[in-house]
Structure 1
Amino acid sequence: MITSRLRRLFSILFLSLLTACAGTVKPEPMAEAPPPGPAKADAALPGVALEPEILYNLLLGEIAGQRGQIGVAAATLGEVAQQTRDPRVAERATLAALYAKRYDEALQSARLWTELRPHDTEAREALITALLELDRAAEAKEHFQTLFAAEETRRNLDQAYLRAAAVLGRTSNRAAAIDVMQSLVALNPRLASAHFAMAHLMVRGGDLEKALVSADAALKQRPDWEEAALFKARILLSQKEPQKARAFYEAFLNDNRGANQVRLNYARFLVDQKEWQKALEEFKRVADNVPDDADTIYAVGLLSLQNNRLDEADKYLKRALELRPQNDQARLYLGQVAEQRKQYGAAIDWYLQIRDGEHYFEAQARLGVVMARQGDLAGARRHLDGISVQNDSQRVQVALAHEQILREARQFSEAIEMLNAAIRTVPGDKDLLYARALVAEKLNLLEVTERDLREILKKDPKNVNALNALGYTLTDRTTRYDEASELLQQAMELKPDDAYIMDSMGWLQYRRGNTAEALKYLRRALEIRNDAEIAAHLGEVLWVAGDRHEAESVWDRALRETPDNEALNGVIKKFKP
């Protein structure tokens, strides 16, 4: 089907020719000379009378183009182009013939277009395309050499090579395209952009190994070229070689410490690999170099929050908001930072600043949770009941806010009743099932916990949270350690650096009597995330292993951060009544 762009071209062509072809109608005398303008390209347009036959063929070509009959349009416009020698008609005739894959006609029209406008790059590229499709690579090379000579004079060879790769990448004659590009690279073998263009062509053809060779050749000529480095990294990732990509990123950045674009991409790569701490370090380096880049500053804020570094999260999110005041998501995260610091008044202020838009509903839900944390449980629930919900997603969000309020108030029975009702309204929702599984565990309803988590895994076998929760529950509340191990191994394969999964695996090793293995996992987990429950587990294993001094040190550090954590205080009272 003809593209809308080509349809517009035909319409514009027809209208412009009706008004621009010199014809039998004499123009009115002008009152004054027209101002000089950039119309030199049309200065040599032919003076051809708009004879009935020409007008008929123009109409025929225009109507055929509008109806998608591109072959008819190409043939008809090709005739008009030869009659009028109008470069605009030759251009449209060439494009139509190429689109219709009528390459002999395209070649004829393209030759005319190039003859009439010998310095028009697009005309010569269209001519090259037609020659390649007709397997006339030698002639295509000659025309490329003509183009390159002109671009070299204008000191524009880099762009010329990339355009060549684009032209060659579109041809169906792949062997000829590669042959031509090799000859072009041979013209300037020490020019990095020549090898870079070859890499692009190879990627277009799906030959990633040869693309990698060409990318390396480009970087050999220009070792600090960020664009080539980014392209090489993308090739490695397309080859499913994340470790090679990591090694390349690190080596390039070690040699080019100011390569901010490469460092940004490396940081994003680390985020994809779930390496939050390392990603944060790379984003911070970029932020130090470009302190006014709103996106980078915002990313540092988010990763600081992800890593539970609340002071840094607060600092960078506020700076991101200064740079981009309309960023309501930053306000939402600042509210969460304030919540974690137990600065509930500040959290409410942040949420109230979000007055409309896509984050308004979530802000209102969080507002209810904060009201409950301030002691107004009844008011918080009234607030949540008063929020107008428009769809199931919002119903789930409100239900989860209700559940959090009731769970934190230790009203587990009411929480599970509320969740039962919500699941009847939105059956099968994974978030509601997960929440009910956790509340059921608090009520010792382990069959409900297991049933809900297995229902999630039946629908989503790679749900990491469900795998970890079920593995931990079987470890902590039963002796079904083999099942727990299988679940936690699956979770670790999906998220190898997740602190909570490491904590669960460490707890499993402890329950099995493998103290050394348990300590290895738990220490790594606490290193990744400073969490009170992980500290509680590590302290217990250290205490039982006889290292009571380190156990107390771990607990004391955690108490300074979260003095009222239930799990932490429970284990301390267990061993230090």
Structure 2
Amino acid sequence: MQGFSWISHTLKWGMLLPSVLFVTSVYAESAFAPTPVATFSSPVSYQVYNILAAEIYLRQENPGQAALHYIAVAQQSKDASLAQRAAELATMANDFQLISRALDLWTELDPESLEARQYRALSHVQVGRYEAAVRDFVIISDQMKKKDGGGFELMIALLEVQRDPRHAYATLKYYVDTVDQSARAQLALAGMAHSSDHFEEAITAAQLAKKSGTLAQKEQASRIIAEALMSLQQTDKALDELGPVARASKDWDLKLSYGRMLILTDRRSEATPLYEQLYTKKPENADIIYTLGLLHLEQKQFDVAEPLIKKLQGMPERADDASYFLGQIYEGKQRIKEAIAAYKQALNGAFAIEASRRISVLLLDTEGLAAARTWIHEHLPTVNNEVHKARLLLVEGKMLHEQKQYAEAVKVLTQALTENPLEADALYHRALSAERIGNFTDAEKDLREVLSLEPSNPGVLNALGYMLLINTERYAEAEGLIRKAIVLAPDDAPIMDSMGWILFRTGKAEEAEAWLRKAYKHLPDPEIASHLAEVLLALGKTDEAKSLLKDMLAKFPDDPLLTKLKDKLVGL
């Protein structure tokens, strides 16, 4: 072998990574045999020829042929490092047959090599040869026990990096079924079953681990069972499983898992005292501070939440998010200038869009539309994200619509759509403003564009149906859209109102009355009230119509629909 060491040492060999082993056979062995040469003057010349030929094939991007040459020279020289090189090249060729042949040779030439066995075990895993994989893993474990232990842990670590978790789980299950039924193995199997969505199997394995495991293993088994039950939507059982264990445990990470579970199941009142305990134990843990602060914020306990969020604000990785929530606290305490200042500190974080929206709204409420618009246009040049720009312009457009500046709203919302043409909310609100200035054709076009993006949006279906109802005589089309909307949102009062109004317009006053009464019960607003009063008048229920109108005018004296109806009732 010394005769060609100068060649092998000049080759730059890469490492064979488990994650790149692949199962598809691309090259058939018979198609890629090394080119035969009649005679060689010596074993060294044979070795030199094959190595040089292999490297030439590699430069020609033919790693399969190169691998076969390295296999040939490794067999002749009994050099395990050349078999390793062959395995690397076979991996590059995505040829499992070559990978298997090279790894078998590598293992044969160096039976004590843990590296060779690891790679061979992983190659077996990736093609579903679980029994063969387990045989190699057992040998690896035995060898490591003689050295420093850790064979089982190594097997788990290698399986966890596999691209296909199903193969990893099936291999470990075969190992547990045939080799090791200990609590440690059952617990590992339960965890891998859960991560590969085998939730029932995870529960079964974890329950077995609970029977014979240590206290720590039993606690972790309960955690896995609870998480699997959560995945199966059995939330009460999950909490019943983990709750007693977490409360009795000294493992604060286990308590934290239970706290997260309480939040996910909307049992925040129970989560709050638990997170207070966790905070006492780990007062510098950012995740605990964050969650506890938000729990108090959500319950409007602003004075308790404020010092927690301020503490979080001092942690660089959480500062932006904390500034946003501090803004919410100040809003809740009616400290508007401080809220605006806090929101401005959040403009580079994950809540940047919502922070900019809150600044705009607060400026509108306290200083007027002009101040809000000025801030928006001063801030826009600093925004690099197109979605953020579109959302900021959307806020401005909605403000203009609410202030009845419909033409200007259309202009601003068109600018928003220039930034992000697929911003459905901008299309929707531009349609509303366009319809108010009499441009029904463009309004209909925008709403149909929104429906192409969100075909099952009940609000948009209703908006288009109602626009058709009041702007055209396409009643059948309008009714079809509204009926689709009511199926999707049967308790939505504005959609009930549209349903009642289309029925009234098509001569079905009694059916209309039932829908409008239901809508008014859900939402007693002026528009629904005016529709209901119109129908009551048509049905001869004049006194009830007058009484309804009187009550609503007392609450909304300037509403144009109610005022118009009042004029109609004069003399009745």
Superposed displacement of residue 114, structure 1: 3.2
Q: Check whether the contact 2:330–2:339 (CA below 8 A) recurs between aligned residues.
A: yes
Q: 1:399 aligns with which of 381, 385, 393?
A: 393
8 Å CA contact retained: 1:129, 1:171: no
Aligned partner of 2:53 in structure 1 is 60
CA offset digits 1:100-159 (Å, max 9, x no partner): 2125623542323533xx1x3232233446778999987766544333334445342540
Contact 2:193 2:199 in 1 (8 A): no
Equivalent in the alignment of 2:289: 297
Indicate the residue corresponding to 1:71 in structure 2.
64
Which residue, 325, 328, 342 being the options, matches 2:334? 342
8 Å CA contact 2:203–2:224 kept in 1: the answer is: no
2:141 match: 148
Partners in 1 of 2:390 and 2:181 — Cα distance? Answer: 61
**2:130/2:170 contact within 8 Å kept:** no
Is the 8 Å Cα contact of residues 185 and 195 (structure 1) preserved in structure 2?
A: no
Per-residue CA deviations over 1:414-444 (Å, capped at 9, x if unaligned) read 2x3333223334267332356568999999x
**Matched position secondary structure for 2:96:** coil
- Which residue does the alignment assign to 1:5? none
Aligned 1:111-126 pairs, distance under 5 A: 111-115=107-111, 118=112, 120-126=113-119
Are 2:51 and 2:73, in contact at CA under 8 Å, matched by a contact in 1? yes
After superposition, give the CA deviation of every residue in 1:523-566 in whole Å (9 maximum; x if it has no partner): xxxxxxxxxx9xxxxxxxxxxxxxxxxxxxxxxxxxxxxxxxxx
Kindly indicate whether the alpha-carbon contact (under 8 Å) linking 1:334 and 1:347 is maintained by their aligned counterparts in 2: yes
User: Residues 199 and 210 of structure 1 are in contact (CA less than 8 Å); yes or no, is this contact kept in structure 2?
Assistant: no
| 1:193 lines up with 2:188 in the alignment | no
Contact 2:90 2:102 (C-alpha < 8 Å) held by counterparts: yes
Instruction: Give the deviation of 1:54 after TM superposition.
Output: 3.2
2:83 touches 2:102 (CA, 8 Å); kept in 1?
no
- CA gap 1:244/1:132 in 2 versus in 1, 3 angstroms: closer
Q: Find the residue that maps to 1:413 and give its secondary structure.
A: coil
Tell me the amino acid that sits aligned with residue 47 of structure 2.
I
* The one of 438, 441, 454 aligned to 1:460: 454
- Aligned match of 1:525: none
Please say if 1:218 is aligned against 2:213. Answer: no
Q: Which position in structure 2 is the counterpart of 1:529?
A: none
1:322 equivalent in alignment to 2:314: yes
Q: Does 1:100 align with 2:95?
A: yes
The equivalent of 2:508 in structure 1 is none
Cα offset for 1:346?
0.9
Alpha-carbon spacing, 1:193–1:365, altered in 2? closer, same or farther (3 Å): same
Is the 1:467–1:490 contact (alpha carbons within 8 Å) kept by the matching residues of 2? Answer: no
Deviation string 1:154-209 (CA, Å, 9 cap, x unpaired) is 3425404525756999799x79x9588545554432332245237637976x7654
| Higher mean C-alpha displacement, 186-195 vs 125-134 | 125-134
Query: How many Å separate the matches in 2 of 1:467 and 1:301?
Result: 40
Aligned residues: 449
- Match for residue 82 of structure 2? 89
Q: Match for 1:110 among 106, 109, 113?
A: 106
Alpha carbons of structure 1 residues 169 and 110: separation in structure 2 relative to 1, 3 Å: farther
Q: Which has the larger radius of gyration?
A: 2
Where 2:313 maps in the other structure, the secondary structure is helix
1:24-45 CA distances to partner (integer Å, 9 max, x unpaired)? xxxxxxxxxxxxxxxxxxxxxx
After TM superposition, give the deviation of residue 251 of structure 1 in Å: 1.4
The reply to whether residue 254 of structure 1 matches residue 244 of structure 2 is: yes
Structure 2, unpaired ranges of 5+: 14-41, 466-478, 494-513, 525-551, 557-572
Asked whether the 8 Å contact 1:196–1:228 carries over to 2, the reply is: no
Say if 1:229 and 1:181 are closer, same or farther in 2 by CA, change over 3 A.
same
Rounded to whole Å, the distance in 1 between the matches of 2:268 and 2:461 is 23
- The Cα shift of 1:82 comes to 3.5
Q: Does the CA-based 8 Å contact 1:344-1:370 persist in structure 2?
A: yes
- SS at 2:10's partner residue? helix
Q: 8 Å contact 2:124–2:132 — kept in the other structure? A: yes
Paired residue secondary structure (2:283)? coil
Counterpart-to-counterpart distance in 2, 1:470 and 1:339 = 36
* Paired position in structure 1 for 2:407: 417
Q: TM-score, normalised by structure 1?
A: 0.58
Change over 3 Å in CA distance of 1:190–1:63 after alignment to 2 = same
Deviates more, 1:262-271 or 1:62-71: 262-271
The unaligned stretches of length 5 or more in structure 1 are 1-12, 22-48, 472-479, 493-507, 523-532, 534-566, 572-577
CA distances 1:430-465 after superposition (whole Å, capped 9, x unpaired) = 32356568999999x999999988975663256588
Shift, 1:72, TM fit:
1.8
CA contact (8 A) 2:84 2:102 kept: no
1:283-294 to 2 correspondence within 5 Å? 286-294=278-286
Paired with 1:260 and 1:100, the residues of 2 have a C-alpha distance of 48
The answer (yes or no) to whether the contact 1:334–1:350 under 8 Å persists in 2 is yes
Q: Give per-residue Cα distances to partners, 1:494-518, cap 9 Å, x unaligned.
A: xxxxxxxxxxxxxx99954999xx8
Please give the alpha-carbon distance, in whole angstroms, between the structure 1 residues aligned to 2:369 and 2:80. Answer: 78
**1:451-506 Cα deviation digits (max 9, x unpaired):** 988975663256588799999xxxxxxxx9998864445889xxxxxxxxxxxxxx
Whole-angstrom CA distance in 2 between matches of 1:308 and 1:370: 19
Tell me how far 1:375 sits from its aligned partner: 2.5
> Match of 2:404, SS?
helix
CA RMSD in angstroms, aligned pairs only: 5.7
Report the CA distance shift for 1:383/1:510 in structure 2 as closer, same or farther (over 3 A). Answer: same
Q: Where does 1:112-511 land on structure 2 (aligned, <5 Å)?
A: 112-115=108-111, 118=112, 120-128=113-121, 143-152=136-145, 154-156=148-150, 158-163=152-157, 165=159, 182=174, 184-194=176-186, 196-197=188-189, 200=192, 209-222=200-213, 224-225=216-217, 232=225, 235=228, 241-244=231-234, 247-257=237-247, 258=249, 260-261=252-253, 264=256, 275=266, 277=268, 281=272, 286-302=278-294, 304-306=296-298, 308-324=300-316, 327-353=319-345, 366-375=358-367, 377-386=369-378, 387-388=380-381, 393-403=387-397, 412-414=403-405, 416-425=406-415, 426=417, 429-432=423-426, 456=450, 459-461=453-455, 486-489=487-490
On the 8 A contact 2:223/2:242 being kept in 1, the answer is: no
Contact 2:456/2:488 (8 A) holds in 1: no
* C-alpha contact 1:423 1:429 (8 A) present in aligned 2: no
Give per-residue Cα distances to partners, 1:50-89, cap 9 Å, x unaligned. 9554344334334444555332232222233334444433
Name the aligned partner's letter for residue 420 of structure 1: V
Which position in structure 2 is the counterpart of 1:36?
Answer: none
